[in-house]
Structures are given as structure tokens and as C-alpha cells.
Homo-oligomer: A and B are copies of this chain.
Amino acid sequence: VPRVSEEYSAARRQQIIDAAFRCFALKGFHGATMRDIYEEAGLSPGAVYHYFESKDEIIRASFDFDYQRSLDVFTAARDSDDPLTALNELLDFFLRGLEGAAALGAGRVNVQGWGEALVNPNLLETIQRVLEGYLDALSHIIRRAQALGQIDDSLDPLSVGRLLLSTYYGLELQKALDPDVDVGKYSAAARALLLSTSRRA
């Protein structure tokens, strides 16, 4: 009675996701065929379909990969004594993270995912959920910064959150289109202009 362990199943799923991720980064969601994926994973088509119902589901699964870890970072920053500094550190942390992510092709997959989401309701939902999570956390911190007079409290916290998100996604986009973009300098500009701690509203 060979009931396979859950770890085994999880490992196989991950193996497929990883392979798919590489294919998507290289050839795009449509350019990468299921054949590409199951060959990259070293499996048969049937094996892949044993773990995923469709290519679509694999695409979706390629997206959840680091969301949880990201939220953990936000949570840690949520109740800092100095929200503005926390935001700065947060921004810096994620912007610098793009350097490593780019190497793995994550930027390429994400940018393609945005476009795909506009046309693929399942993916849209996934992305919207992620975005919402980020914006909730950011709004919370921004409101605290406003309460402390660190940020002009006439500004809409959600919109400020979107602006910070733009700073991040805009760099992810530019770095995907041109890997030579200098993350360090961009980060410095963002810190200086956007959330300068020397200034008060």
C-alpha cells in the first residue's frame, strides 16, 4: 500500500513549478509549451497533469511563490515606533531584492503575469489578492506615519501606498526590460525624494 508521503507530493509539485518558472521566464507564458515544461521537469505529460489540472493552473502557481515571505516582512514593519523609517527600510529592502530576483527571472515572469492577468481571470484574482495585501499593510503604516506627523496627513493613505508600490513595480518593469538598470542608484533616489526623513509635512 504505497501511500506516498505529502512531502513527496509537495516536492513533485515544486519541481514542476520550478521547471515551468524557468520556461516562462525564457519563453513567456504562451511561448512555453507544456512540452517544454514537462521536459524541463524531466517528467511525462501525464505526470504533470497528475499534479496540475491545466497549464493555467501552473501559471497561477508560478505566482504565489514568494508572496507569503513578502507579507511576513510587512508584518514585521507594521507596528514599528518610527513608521517613516520603517517604510524607507521596507522600500529599500524590496528594491534591493529585485537585484537577486532578476537573476532568477522572477521579474520577467511577473511582468508577463501582469499582461496575462488582464486576459486571464484566474491570474487576475491571484494578483489582485496579492496587491490588496500589500496595499493594506502599506496603508496601515502610512496612517501611523501620518498620525505621528511624519507624512502630510491630507494625503490619501491608499494613494501613497500605490505610489510606493509604483516605485517598486516600475523598477521591476524597467529592470526586466533592461537588466543593466542600477538598482542601488534608483534606491538612493527613491529614499531621498520620496520619504526623506529629514523633512516633515
Within the complex, which residue of B116, B124, B165, B195 is in contact with A170, where a contact is CB–CB below 8 Å? Answer: B165
Most buried by B among A28, A30, A160, A170: A170
Q: Are A188 and B28 in contact (CB under 8 A)?
A: no
Chain A binding surface, main DSSP class: helix
Binds B, one of A10-18, A60-68, A173-181: A173-181
Within the complex, which residue of B27, B118, B170, B194 is in contact with A162, where a contact is CB–CB below 8 Å? Answer: B170
Question: In the complex, which residues of chain B have a beta carbon less than 8 angstroms from the beta carbon of A79?
Answer: none
Q: Are B162 and A181 in contact (CB under 8 A)?
A: yes
Q: Are A177 and B118 in contact (CB under 8 A)?
A: yes
Within the complex, which residue of B27, B176, B186, B194 is in contact with A194, where a contact is CB–CB below 8 Å? Answer: B194
Check if A20 is an interface residue, CB within 8 A of chain B. no
Q: Are B119 and A193 in contact (CB under 8 A)?
A: no
Residue-by-residue, is A26-37 near B (CB-CB < 8 Å gives 1, otherwise 0)? 011111000000
Q: Are B155 and A189 in contact (CB under 8 A)?
A: yes
Question: In the complex, which residues of chain B have a beta carbon less than 8 angstroms from the beta carbon of A199?
Answer: 199
Q: Are B167 and A182 in contact (CB under 8 A)?
A: no
27 pairs, CB–CB < 8 Å, chain A vs chain B: A27-B119, A28-B116, A28-B119, A30-B30, A31-B119, A111-B118, A131-B174, A152-B193, A155-B185, A155-B189, A156-B182, A159-B185, A162-B170, A162-B174, A162-B189, A163-B170, A163-B186, A163-B193, A166-B166, A166-B168, A166-B170, A167-B167, A168-B170, A169-B170, A169-B173, A193-B195, A194-B194
